[in-house]
Amino acid sequence: MELRHLRYFVAVAEERNFTRAAERLHIAQPPLSRQIQQLEEDLGVALIEKGSRPLRLTEAGQFFLAHAKPLLDQVRDLKAMTQRVGQLERTLSIGFVASTLYGQLPEIVRRYRERHPEVEVTLHEMTTVEQLKALKEGAIDVGFGRLKSEDPSIRRILLRDERMVVALSRGHRLAGKGALRLTELVRENLLLYPKAPRPSFADQVLRVFSEANLVPDHVTEVRELQIAIGLVAAGQGVSVVPESVQGMHRNVVYSAIEDKHAFSPVLFSVRHMDRSPELENMLATVYSVYDDLGIAYTRESL
């Protein structure tokens, strides 16, 4: 059994069709079928139910798929990390969600560059979902995101839980009232972002309402944070945002939320086995910035 057998089987299992799997792998269908047959002969068990339409896996096939995918992820991790070790120039590619740019991320990057001028740092704005894909493909080395997920090939470190606040236009009836209850927001037009891809921060906001047994009466989904804040300033609704984005627009004010679940995590994501000095130093820089600013956080090592 070779690695190509794992790749071929996973493609067939995910596509549930030999023709589509062959196109995905850029090979002809007959050789693909022979490779799967060879794999079954090597294992001594059937992995795919014969004649099933659409294609269905046997119990042994489902077991094999569940273990083959993590192995392939580890191989991709090994390739990316080996390439990093072999680089003549030290680099660090960072993915970030837009809202973290209004918090401590700029200071973290500035301080890291000051401490490690030999490392070339690049920044790429992308959603948390896009970050996970980019990490596995080796396009970025670390991601600063907000969405929790389970992926055996990705290590997620919770840096801190950031409070959510309500963004209101200056003339809104609730502006200046102080901390607001979620029940006071359910009848407002709730501006959620991003519209896609999902799941996203929008789902975190909806979860906060759901955990309070509330459903907003009116929801408008927009592409990004800046659009949501612009619409708030124009009096088109209210938006729930991380507290670090306060001050984005002069015609928008912010109120705290009286709910213990109203927070959004800030997560540090890396490939599971990546322990490069660049990443260790970046995590140390994050903690040093938090210490200097008096921000409560959860300390964890790679």
Class of domain 3-84: mainly alpha
* CATH 3.30.365.10 assigned to 162-263: no
Q: At a CB cut-off of 8 Å and minimum separation 6, what does 154 contact? A: 132, 135, 136, 269, 270, 271, 272
> Which of 4-18, 76-90, 241-255 has the weakest average pLDDT?
76-90
Question: Mind giving me the DSSP string for 255-280?
Answer: EEB--TT-EEEEEEEEETT---HHHH
Measure the CA–CA gap between 146 and 126, rounded to whole angstroms.
Answer: 11
Q: What is the mean pLDDT of the chain?
A: 91
Question: pLDDT for 75-133, tens place per residue?
Answer: 877 777 676 656 545 789 999 998 898 899 999 999 999 999 989 999 999 989 899 98
- How far does the chain reach from its first CA to its final CA, in angstroms? 33
CATH architecture of 90-159+265-293: 3-Layer(aba) Sandwich (3.40)
Q: Where in the chain is the domain with CATH 3.40.190.10?
A: 90-159+265-293, 162-263
Q: Which residues of 188-222 are buried (b: 16+ CB within 10 A; e: fewer)?
A: bbbbbbbeeeeebbbebbbebbeebebebeebbeb
Q: Which residues of 115-149 are buried (b: 16+ CB within 10 A; e: fewer)?
A: ebeebebeeeebbbbbbbebbbebebbbbbbbbee
Question: Residue 91's pLDDT is what?
Answer: 87
Question: pLDDT for 30-72, tens place per residue?
Answer: 999 999 999 999 999 999 988 788 899 999 999 999 999 888 8
As a whole-number percent, the residues of the chain with pLDDT over 90 amount to 67
